[in-house]
Amino acid sequence: MPSPRASIQTDQRDAGGGHSDFNRHRKKFTMQLDLLPTRHGGAAENMATDLLLLKRYPRDCAAHARFRHYGWHRAAFTFGYSQKIAYVRSQLPDGESVELCRRPTGGGVVDHRDDWTYTLIIPRAHSLYDQPAPRSYQIIHAAITDALRSLGQPVELKETCEPAENDDGETCSAPAGPTVCFKRPERYDVIHTITGAKVAGAAQKRTKEGLLFQGSLARATLDASLDWDAFQSALIDKLSTSLALPAVEAPWPDFAEGELDGLIEQYSATEWIEQR
């Protein structure tokens, strides 16, 4: 079955005189996909860094999309902003010390002990920012599907969804209550064609600065021999095509002094982790 390929162009909608002055202002920017260096951090540091990359990216590069792959210093779990801490703690492994952090995005509980984690930030100047959440989810996960298939992995994009109760089967149901990300595939997740296991999931947050997309792949669902460096290269190529942006290696941005440390402290605090 050929993988669905979805390409979305940078915003040109006002070319025919049909949209706002804001769209005309968008065209003044040079857009590209910035590839940031790989880093490893603790749970709070990784979540804080993602939020700063969304909200505090250098002004002269604010129209650039941003991609980064990152790792974890220690065993860690993250969970969506609206999740209840009591449920989250019930999902943690017994007898093992793990780091725990509430994400700025939504979604379920994610086990990062053996995953491949990435962040993609879409600037407001790109037309993907204006798409409904299911559409952006589909486009990014289609790129992951294509990248994995190019390396011989039997995966596909889950095009169907579970029907909501008491309807005609046409409407997708959102998970009710707390969730664990990789237990149940949702529409447009990446799944293993043979086993049906969920391979890739993600959560997103849309703000006035752009779209923050935090994603994870479960390594154990794929072949042990998969070359993850080759996967990263293939994924960047597919994202570049889908977003219609050239991929360019970029240096790590300089945040304001103390800004990252301050946000790490906030994300490490009990008040943040246990606020719900």
Q: Are 71 and 117 in contact (CB under 8 A)?
A: yes
pLDDT category at 179 given cuts 50, 70, 90 is low
User: Per residue, what are the HEC states of 26-83?
Assistant: HCCCCCCEEECCCEEECHHHHHHHHHHHHHCCCHHHCCCEEEEEEEECCCEEEECCCC
For residue range 96-144, list pLDDT tens digits in order.
Answer: 999 999 999 999 999 999 999 999 999 999 999 999 999 999 999 999 9
Query: What residues form DSSP beta bridges with 111?
Result: 77
Q: Would the pLDDT of 173 be above 70?
A: no
Beta strands in the chain (DSSP E): 33-35, 39-41, 65-72, 76-79, 99-102, 110-111, 115-123, 155-157, 190-192, 198-206, 210-218, 247-249
For residue range 234-272, list pLDDT tens digits in order.
Answer: 999 999 999 999 999 999 999 999 999 999 999 999 999
Q: What is the pTM of this model?
A: 0.84
